[in-house]
Amino acid sequence: MTEDSEISLPRPSVVTIRSTKRHDLPELNEMIALLAAHHHDASAMTPDILERDLFGDMPWINVIVADTGSELMGYAILVPLYRAEEGSRGMDLHHLFVRDGHRGHGIGQHLVTRAREIARNAGCGYLSVSAATGNSAAHRFYEQMDFKPRPVTGMRYTQALA
């Protein structure tokens, strides 16, 4: 979720929240790059990587999009989680993005609502999301959507495998 002061465009008359299709990949890739740029990151994502991770032999992510019929207004990426000590499945709302000018029209809320349904249908007991420190608009949004803040403790380590 991004925090910007922006001009609001008219709300589209119909927005459909649906699973991503192959023809969405270039536009989805563009929105991922916009979110990365907002966070001052560079995106290494490509439509080919999205094809692999959404439709390949071992699908890794689930992506839903907000579609007006003429363009995609936003997306959410879901990634499975697991708490072994609890034997509990969860889902990480890894990305939530709505295009500039279209925030504040309920599109993000509809994406979160659909993400909850997907997580429940996958047998998950929780949906998790994070927001950058200082992104108070995102914090307010998630709390309004009944997410509860949890402290982050410890360090996360990674090791390159290639």
Pairing of strands 88-98, 126-128: parallel
Boundaries of every domain in the chain: 16-144
Task: Say whether domain 16-144 belongs to CATH 1.10.10.10.
Answer: no
pLDDT digits (tens, 9 = 90+) for 25-40: 999 999 999 999 988 9
pTM, full prediction: 0.89
pLDDT digits (tens, 9 = 90+) for 94-136: 999 999 988 889 999 999 999 999 999 999 999 999 998 888 9
Give buried/exposed letters for 17-33 (b at 16+ CB in 10 A, else e). beebeeebbebbbebbb
